[in-house]
Structure 1
């Protein structure tokens, strides 16, 4: 775990991320806040590409909790059986739809606590929805962010909550809306777990990671 970087270095890092990609976007396809919520929940232990492939037809016929309930668990399974843990995920999708209808009038709530009450929704999923749909500077820490946060010293921490707190505490406020997306994309395509592409990295000179690749 690298030591926490200082304020000026972190600001320079995010200035470079911003210059490279001024308006980063998540890679999960969705048409409204409900389909975003379902897509993020389905993405656990699955790739965004795989989820997009599975939901392309699903969201055409079930883009509201009511329509998802009408489709039923077996109907959901038929659409998502190409992704990991599909049976459990289908069960949660139906349970989530039922709770949204029963407890929230069919609307997706916009508080973290309320979102985390939904089956299959944890803190990361809730934060993604809050950030991407309601523009709240919530930080959805995944394995990419946890890895580069500790590798670079941007936001070191021993667990996802500690990394999330480090982001909130140390990354300048004017970068926090897009912070987690910049780091996810950087971790997914450049600062990979194996063989990071350090030669193509825009923050290579600021990164203390010792095992840099050529």
Structure 2
């Protein structure tokens, strides 16, 4: 079992103004509405229903906070892109997303999820450019890797890593599948580094 299995739902908020300002560290998950964020969070935490999933993309309308301990949190941000919702609602979501990314001081890393078959769409690139300009590390996670055979998956990963070099920042690219857990250890490794969980685990062991 991993540290991430301790995750539990803490709260939902429509915007940054409703979030607690109590310090700590957060890692955020962002992506298009059909990128599989909720499924990835459930796979990461080994909990089937921690983050709600739906066959209809765009159900994540709020900023959802999941607590690992008193000081560390995972954040599921509103999906963007192809959600079949009214334009006014879509603009509201994107405003919440933008405010969190620009103003949340607790943010230590950003996971940008993209379907491996369609990586680096315009909104994905905008998000990564913002993170790089803010000197924030980014993990570009190519989801649904089970949809491709091994050769095609490796080719897509190589192409995406070459494309990521153009951002001129701390941008790592890995593949991931919620279905067969491919890429899960690599995801855990990056998150553990950002959240400094090894130090926390060592302290707990010594207690």
Instruction: Give the number of the structure whose residues are more often strand, by fraction.
Output: 2
Instruction: Give the number of the structure whose residues are more often helix, by fraction.
Output: 1
Structure number with larger C-alpha Rg: 1
What TM-score results when the alignment is normalised by the length of structure 2?
A: 0.29
